[in-house]
Amino acid sequence: MELPGQTRAIFRACNREIAEAYVKSGKYEYLLTSGPGDFHLKEPATYFSYSEQYGRLYAKRRGRAGLVIKQIFHLDMLKQPEQCYNFGCVPNDEWRDVVTACRRQEKAQGKFLNIQKRTMLEGPIADTATQNFATPPIPAEKFKPAMLNGECVLQIAFKGATIAQLALLDRQILQT
């Protein structure tokens, strides 16, 4: 699919079977996240990191079966404020409230409900096991962002129709 404008690479670690099936077929169903995520409830969603290095580290956790998908997406997709929301590069209370609600599979309250409904969300990766969200409050030492080289690792979540748009764009498996 050709769209005008600038592109950016994003990265996702997954097992060999899923990576090869997605890159070959373009069927986005291979990428759907199972279980609670930082920015979605029960709707289909997929997550990518902006960091190739983080993707490679995460793939290594999977052992020999881990691969990294390099996906291209058009930055114009982010210029739709009714669909996209950016939490920024540093975790804040807004980010924590939305991640907490999503990991607990609860609808966010107030202004956060509108954020939770967006189809593309950008922000830090929560490096926190979902079971830590079972009982509030979550201790600060357990609720932290993923860090790499002293900086928060950022992610982008795609939900709804944006997943299908993404699957139409260029993608490849990186050699690890």
Note the pLDDT tens digit of each residue in 124-158.
Answer: 999 988 888 877 778 777 789 999 999 999 999 99
For residue 126, the cross-strand partners are 145
Q: How many CA atoms lie within 13 A of 41 on its CB side?
A: 11
pTM summary value: 0.92
> Would you say residue 129 lies in a domain?
yes
Give the total residue count for the chain. 176
Q: Kindly report the backbone phi and psi dihedral angles of residue 115, in degrees, each rounded to the nearest multiple of 5, phi listed first.
A: -65, -45
> Would you say residue 2 lies in a domain?
no
Place of tokens 């969200």: 133
Total count of domains within the chain: 1
How many angstroms separate the CA atoms of 11 and 23, rounded?
A: 13
Question: Are the beta carbons of 125 and 145 closer than 8 angstroms?
Answer: yes
Q: In terms of residue numbers, what domain contains 73?
A: 7-174
pLDDT digits 0-9 by tens, 58-114: 898 877 778 999 999 999 888 888 899 999 999 988 898 899 889 988 887 888 888
DSSP for residue 101: H
